Chains A and B, each alone.
Chain A
Amino acid sequence: MTALATQSHAIPHAVMAPELAWVGMAMLLPLLSSVVCALCGALRVKSKLPAIVTAISLASSFAIILRAYSAYTGPVDVPIFEWMSFEWGRGGSFHSFTANCALYIDALTLYWMLFVTGLGTLITIYASEYMEGDRGAGYCRFFFAISIFLFAMSALVLGDNLAMLYLGWEGVGLASYLLIGYNYDRPSAVAAAKKAFIMNRIGDLGLALGIFMLWANYGTIQYSELFVAMSSGGQTAVDWHVSAIPFLLMLGAFGKSAQIPLFTWLPDAMEGPTPVSALIHAATMVTAGVYLIARLYPFFELHPQALATVAWIGGGTALVAATIGMAQYDIKRVFAYSTISQLGYMFLGLGVGTTFGACYHTLTHAFFKALLFLAAGAIMHGFAGQLDLRKLSGLRHIPGWRIVSWTMFVGCLWLAAFPFTAAFFSKDAILLQALSSDRADFRALGWLGLLTAALTAYYTFRVWFRVCAGPVHFEAGTEAPHDHGAHHDADHARQKGHDRHSAAVHAAFHPHAPRWAINGVLIVLAIGSLVVGVPAYKAVFLHEDNWAQQMIAHSSAVQGAMLSNDHAHSEGHAPTMLGMDVHTGLTVVGSSAAIGGILVAWFFHLHSRRRADQVRGELLRRWWLGWIPTAMEHKWYVDEVYHVTFRSTMWIGAQILNFADRHFLDAFVVDGVAKIPLALGRVFRPLYSGALQGYAVTMAGGVALVLAWASWVWLRGAQ
């Protein structure tokens, strides 16, 4: 690995390198595999071929990225083919709009692609066994959507212009729509898929407008040219047009990464099969927002308040999601809220200025959150769709489930940011930056982050102690023995041989322990979470530069690369925290928060579960406290608020418009105009009554009238 010379703050200029076109294969391979899967679907292939094809294509694209990483010297711009580009000129001035299919490879891209394709491969292997109950049409459709997702994600990350980013952005939205709605015979899944796509679409509008704003001000949407224009202070007028750019891009990021205004779709996205939740709604897709802000970081400094807003929304989402996560009973819902909360941390990191912290936390989070989801998936797979933590207990004692329990334990430790785990260091980096900033609100956010860390530790281990520890007790879920496939195969039911109806029959049901594919992937992910911590360990113990820090520093996501960094760390007064130096203070408070959370969870959810119910009962009895638990269980009624404010008002508006269009505009106005000649006709009808004399009189009258009019005109003319 060539030594990454620490570059100066300015963003390195991209070099045109058409010979690196083979890196484009990393993007096109998933597309090929999606075509193959579609063909398998059309030809009704029953074998596991689609899974194999997808896994191979992802593994090879991972290899390509690794090779590109090894051969990486500096940012490179690789054109592939012309997509949307045309020019026009009026009176000498020459204008153009180019959006070609080309790649922009710099450290940030490689950093992202590594874990996207890596996790993609692992999760595809996991899914090959997880979905095998669904072989045939469902299987092909599943892997078709997975390959489309990975093509879109790589297009998003690798693309060299914002239009490619937008293509990837909506592509991943489509893939998540197809995958959430995989069990399309469940209305809740279909509704969740629609909700996800529409919420993403609202974010995409913000992104689109941001792209137009960028093009309006800089005349180009290609990163290399944008950074050049930015660094040479190229923007034309610093008015609301320019400063609106960060806020619009932010809206896009929050839509995709499920932050405060647009986060309600992620928990519902858990309707999809678990590998989907792991890959898309935990590890890769939701990080697209972080990538966007990291990629266009210099533009977020155009407006002083932009980064502060990101920080505040990140911190706020973290806290809110943590509070909701505490009160959920469905394991996947808890992990979903924890994802939102961890994403909140990443945005907090971006907001306060440490792109390294945010990106490193993304990496660590991707691994351990995928691990947790896959573990939950294994449980769900085994216990016929049972995910309620009140109905599962003591899993680690059940034979065949030890690997799942202990790998889940590793995941929970990482999620709770137990001291000296990889997540601890990444979260520490974020909170360090927050607490050591000279802005009071950032420091407040830092403390808020610490509180959320405690809550996170609590609800993580609440799940673990409930499910894996304690006496062995479980009830089968209502799903068919496996939670996928709308119409399960007749042969599968016979093979299981048990009666799928009576959930309450305890003795007859014994869990279906996961086989090598699932266990293997879980172990690899656990090891991965460990490995991902190595750069942090080297930084702390060997005082080398953290690998992730080098990668991010080398890319465009560098703090203050453009503007003069006004709030550079004035080394003069070392920021202190609780009297101690920030570093030591943070490690002490952080670890105590984590351990405290775990102990509280241990006490309530393992030691004496009855106490937990008693406390809840007392809270409910006190009216002024009673609303808290219910509100938390109902996700602070955010969904209902959205429903009332937006959906129902628009629904009523639409009904009124529909009624108005059909009855007022169509029936009254249009038919009314058509009736005017008919009405006139009825006015003149009596003139034709049939009497001879009547006609004669009217004719004579008519002649007299016309003569009078003619003479009046004549006299008037003659004067």
Chain B
Amino acid sequence: MIDSLSPRLALLVPEMMLLAGAVVVALMGLSKRRGVRDALPFITCGVLLLSIIALPLTYTTPRALDAHLLLPLLGRFVKPLIAVMGVWLVLLSVGSVDRRLEDSVARGRQPFDAQRVARGEYYAFLLLSLMGAMLLCNATDLIWLFLAIELVSLPTYIMVAVGGHGSRPQEAAVKYFFLGAMSTAVFLYGFALLYGSTGSLELLAIRDALAAQAAGNGIDGLAMIGIALIVLGLCFKVTAVPMHFYAPDVYEGAPTHVSAFLSFVPKTAGFTALVIILTCVGWTGHAIIAPDGVRVQYLGLPTPIAAILWMVAVLTMTLGNIGALLQTSVKRMMAYSSIAHSGYLVLGLIAGASAGIDAIYLYLVAYGVMTIATFAALASLERRGEEINAFSDLAGLRVRHPVMAWVLAMSALSLVGMPPFIGFFAKISLFIAAFEANQLGLVIAAVINSAISGLYYLRLTLTPLVAPPTARSHEVTSVPSRWPQVTAVVCGLATIVLSCAAGALLDAARSAGASAPSTPSTHSHGEHP
């Protein structure tokens, strides 16, 4: 039945499953019985697992190739990545959405009021956001791209507002929403200009048009400004400078499980969108007529875009690392660390073509595992019902919660890039990609930045393991539900186990990164030699 669908629709089976799941979960959220409401996260996981299983069956290579996608095999790597991380993100949030309401209803202090229950909506929006991220890989034209990006971010605004209680999540939501809307407008205007310059919304057509312009006398101004605006607009999604200002407040304000979601899904979607857009521009570089009339072919992005990305990369890394040094709140520090890691990822963008994209996705795998492990450890602990926020709460965690202390230590060491952990392999693959693009300066900047990051990640390692327990840290107890701890342990071990599979992951990413063969008029950059 599936092959009767047009190839492009056949590829969307996992997304359809998520949609259906979202609807079911939304409805079940309203049921009176507590058991059903408690089962919601596990249903969500079930849906996600189903989509993971369905993917290899439906996303076959021949079908992908004749679906005229810009990066046909990208989905085969990105979609399972998003689904797997989605599962862990859901398990992370078990028991903490609507916790106050559920407890008061359970104790009978409040009658069950379908209006106030938000758990169903939370998981529905979560599934929708994941669906948006998956859809992004199959984008064939600008409209699809714009809708997919919006589908990723709109649900997150609500998740931030709904997830927790008190004024802080709401303040985070309002900031996140307004600044998000502004950045959406920016890259929408960019789309318009790009459409104006290339005359088509089809990504393949845009790529060929831009290549033709490049072959002629260089990409014209309108397209250049359009691409610049798109890149800057998307910087919001990946918390890159100059659009990163929301991140610290939103990560600190939002509940921990939502911050975990924000730190991974929008970042992956953002970088996928950036990869798609920059593939249109192409890393084949552009020809400059040298003074003596010889056409010199330069690898890499056109100079202005490369300059933008270079500036964005250096500023993001530096501001992220420097900002994190002074923080007393763990979640705020994780926000800055997410900014810093985006800075490293932009390095991959500049490298582009074969090495860059693979490095980005390997780094995203590693980054996902590391941050989810950290957030899961934080989510599994609480102090007098409140979330863990300050470093002093974590002091001497080893005494009462040894496993969580070790998970925090392992993930922090992996984030800093300490060798046996996956973080190290991700970082050196990024550096290698940067070398491929002759970016020695950027590598040195990244090296110095990761040395600076040693300062605050070491604090995150040593505080739970070594620091003497303080009065506050004695009150730290574990959350009733066991699932966040399970997530933390699994992701913590993954940081080491995955490093053995670093080679396999890099090869999988490499095959995904290959872009579609262009029409014969322009030469497509060869496979990786």
CA distance A698 to B322 in the complex (A): 18
With A and B bound together, what is the CA distance between A710 and B302 in angstroms?
11
Q: Quick check: B249 and A710 within 8 Å, CB to CB?
A: no
Identify the stretch in A9-17, A258-266, A681-689 within 8 Å (CB) of chain B at 4 or more residues: A681-689
Query: A657-681 vs B: 1/0 string, CB under 8 Å?
Result: 0000000000000000010011011
Instruction: State which residues 297-323 of B face A: CB under 8 Å.
Output: 303-305, 307-308, 311-312, 318-319, 321-323
B353 CB within 8 Å of chain A? no
Asked if B179 is an interface residue, CB under 8 A from chain A, the answer is yes
**Residue from A678, A696, A703, A718 within 8 A of B326 (CB atoms):** A678
Report whether B311 and A709 are in contact in the complex, using a CB–CB cutoff of 8 Å. Answer: yes
Q: Which of B321, B323, B455 contacts A674 (CB 8 A)?
A: B455
A624 interfacial contact with B, CB 8 Å: no
Contact between B326 and A682, CB atoms less than 8 A apart: yes
Contact B243 A696 (CB under 8 A): no
Chain B neighbourhood of A703, CB < 8 A: 186, 232, 242-243
Given A677-B321, A677-B325, A707 contacting B225 (CB threshold 8 A): yes
Q: Is the CB of B323 within 8 A of A684?
A: yes
Interchain CB contact under 8 A, B228 and A710: yes
Q: Which of B241, B249, B308, B321 contacts A690 (CB 8 A)?
A: B249
Residues on B with C-beta less than 8 A from A695 are 175, 179, 245-246
Q: How far is the CB of A503 from chain B (nearest CB, A)?
A: 60
A681 and B304: CB pair below 8 A?
Answer: no
Q: List, in ascending order, chain A residues with CB within 8 A of B218's CB.
A: 718
User: Which of A678, A680, A687, A710 is in CB contact (< 8 Å) with B308?
Assistant: A710
B174 at the interface (CB under 8 A from A): yes
Task: Let me know if A684 and B319 touch, CB within 8 A.
Answer: yes
Q: How far is the CB of A72 from chain B (nearest CB, A)?
A: 68
| Residues of chain B contacted by A696 (CB below 8 angstroms) | 178-179, 182
Say whether B49 faces chain A, with CB atoms less than 8 Å apart. no
Tell me, yes or no, whether A527 is within 8 Å of chain B by CB.
Answer: no
A681 and B232 in contact, given A695-B179, A717-B304 (Cβ under 8 angstroms):
no
Q: Which residue of B lies closest to A690 (CB)?
A: B249
| Inter-subunit contact A688/B323 (CB<8 Å) | yes
Q: Please judge, given known A-B contacts A678-B326, A680-B322, A707-B225, whether A699 and B182 are in contact too, CB under 8 Å.
A: yes
Instruction: List residues of chain B with CB within 8 A of the CB of A718.
Output: 218
Is residue B201 contacting chain A, with contact meaning CB distance below 8 A?
no
A674 to B305, alpha carbons, bound, how many Å? 34
A576 at the binding interface (Cβ < 8 Å): no
Q: Once bound together, how far apart are the Cα atoms of A677 and B248, in whole Å?
A: 18
Q: Is B24 an interface residue (CB 8 A)?
A: no
Residues of A within 8 A of B183 (CB): 699
CB distance from B186 to the nearest CB of A (A): 7
Query: Number of B interface residues, CB 8 Å?
Result: 37
Given contacts A688-B248, A692-B178, contact A711 B242 (CB under 8 A): no
- Whether, in the assembled complex, A701 has its beta carbon less than 8 Å from a beta carbon of chain B, the answer is yes
Which B-chain residue is minimally distant from A716 (CB atoms)? B303
Provide the bound-state CA to CA distance between A23 and B174, in Å.
99
Q: Which of A705, A710, A714 has the most CB of B within 10 A?
A: A710
Residues 320 to 363 of chain B near chain A (Cβ within 8 Å): 321-323, 325-326
Q: Considering the chains assembled together, what is the distance between the CA atoms of A692 and B326 in angstroms?
A: 21
> Does A688 contact B228, Cβ atoms closer than 8 Å?
no
Are A709 and B326 also in contact (CB < 8 A) when A677-B321, A699-B245, A703-B186 are?
Answer: no
Within 8 A of A (CB), among B228-250: 228-229, 232, 241-243, 245-246, 248-249
Check B241 against A702 for contact (C-beta < 8 Å): yes
Chain B residue at minimal CB-CB distance from A707: B228
Task: Kindly supply a per-residue 1/0 record for chain B positions 271-290, scoring 1 wherever the CB is within 8 Å of any chain A CB and 0 otherwise.
Answer: 00000000000000000100
Q: Are B179 and A681 in contact (CB under 8 A)?
A: no
B224 within 8 A of A: yes
In B160-176, which residues have CB < 8 Å from any A CB? 174-175
Q: Separation in Å of the B292 CB from the closest CB of chain A?
A: 15
Q: Does A578 sit at the interface, judged by CB under 8 A?
A: no
- Interface 0/1 of A426-467, CB less than 8 Å to B: 000000000000000000000000000000000000000000
Among A678, A685, A714: residue with most chain B CB under 10 A? A714
Q: Which residues of chain A have C-beta atoms less than 8 A from B403's C-beta?
A: none
A706 located at the interface, meaning its Cβ lies under 8 Å from any Cβ of chain B in the complex: yes
Q: Is the CB of B242 within 8 A of A706?
A: yes
Residues of B within 8 A of A690 (CB): 249
A674 CA / B458 CA spacing, docked (Å): 14
Q: Does A574 contact B (CB under 8 A)?
A: no
Tell me the nearest residue of chain A to B218, going by C-beta: A718
A688 touches B245 (CB 8 A): yes
The docked-state distance in angstroms from the alpha carbon of A118 to that of B394 is: 77
A-contacting residues, B429-474, CB 8 Å: 452, 455
Query: Given A702-B241, A710-B228, A717-B304, are A688 and B249 neighbors across the interface (CB < 8 Å)?
Result: yes
Whether B326 contacts A714 by the Cβ 8 Å rule is no
- A482: min CB distance to chain B, Å: 58
B322 contacts which of A684, A709, A711, A714 (Cβ < 8 Å)?
A684
Q: For the complex, is A713 an interface residue (Cβ under 8 Å from B)?
A: yes
A699 to B185, CA, bound (A): 13
Q: How far is the CA of A706 from the CA of B182 in the complex (A)?
A: 17
**CA–CA, A413 and B321, complex, Å:** 88
- In the bound complex, residues from chain B placing their C-beta under 8 Å from that of A711 are 304
> With A and B bound together, what is the CA distance between A711 and B228 in angstroms?
10
Contacts of A678 in B (CB 8 A): 325-326
Assess whether B303 is in contact with A681, with CB atoms less than 8 Å apart: no
Q: Determine how close the nearest CB of chain A comes to the CB of B274; give it in whole angstroms.
A: 15
With A685-B326, A687-B245, A695-B246 already in contact, the answer to whether A709 and B308 are too (CB < 8 A) is yes
A59→B310 CA distance, assembly (Å): 87
- Interchain CB contact under 8 A, B322 and A677: yes
Q: Are B179 and A677 in contact (CB under 8 A)?
A: no
Q: Which residue of A lies closest to B177 (CB)?
A: A692
- Whole-angstrom distance between the alpha carbons of A28 and B321 in the complex? 68
Which of chain B's residues have a CB closer than 8 A to the CB of A677? 321-322, 325, 452, 455
* B179 & A692 in contact (Cβ 8 Å cutoff): yes
In the bound assembly, the distance between CA atoms of A278 and B528 in angstroms comes to 86
Kindly list chain A residues whose C-beta atoms are within 8 Å of the C-beta of B179. 692, 695-696, 699
Q: Judge whether B249 and A706 touch: CB under 8 Å.
A: no
Given contacts A681-B323, A717-B304, contact A702 B243 (CB under 8 A): yes
With beta carbons under 8 angstroms apart, the residue of A688, A701, A710 that contacts B305 is: A710
Interchain nearest-CB distance for A476 vs B (Å): 63
Residues of B within 8 A of A714 (CB): 224, 303-304, 307
**Docked CA distance A718–B302 (Å):** 11
B242 touching A681, Cβ below 8 Å: no
User: Which residues from B are CB-within-8-Å of A687?
Assistant: 245
Closest to B308 in A: A710
Q: From B319, which residue of chain A is reached at the shortest CB distance?
A: A684
- B228 touching A706, Cβ below 8 Å: yes
Residues of B within 8 A of A684 (CB): 319, 322-323
Residue of B nearest to A677 (CB): B452
The distance in angstroms between the C-alpha atoms of A687 and B326, with both chains bound, is 14
Minimal beta-carbon separation of B221 from chain A (angstroms): 8
| Inter-chain contacts of B241 with A (CB < 8 A) | 702
Contacts A695-B179, A701-B242 known; A709 to B307 CB distance under 8 Å?
yes
Known: A695-B175, A706-B232. A681 touches B325 (CB 8 A): yes
| Assembled-state Cα–Cα distance A707/B249 (Å) | 26
Query: How far, in Å, is B524 (CB) from chain A's closest CB?
Result: 24
The minimal Cβ–Cβ distance linking B373 to chain A, given in whole angstroms, is 25
Chain A, 318-343, contact with B by CB distance < 8 Å: what is the 0/1 string? Answer: 00000000000000000000000000
For this complex, 10 residue pairs linking A to B, each with C-beta atoms less than 8 Å apart, are: A674-B455, A680-B322, A681-B322, A692-B174, A698-B245, A706-B312, A707-B225, A707-B232, A710-B307, A713-B303
A: residues with CB less than 8 A from B are: 674, 677-678, 680-682, 684-685, 687-688, 690, 692, 695-696, 698-699, 701-703, 705-707, 709-711, 713-714, 717-718
- Given contacts A692-B178, A702-B242, 10 further A-B pairs with CB under 8 A are A678-B325, A680-B318, A685-B326, A692-B179, A695-B246, A698-B242, A698-B245, A706-B308, A713-B304, A717-B303
- 5 closest pairs, A vs B, by CB? A702-B242, A695-B245, A714-B304, A713-B307, A710-B304
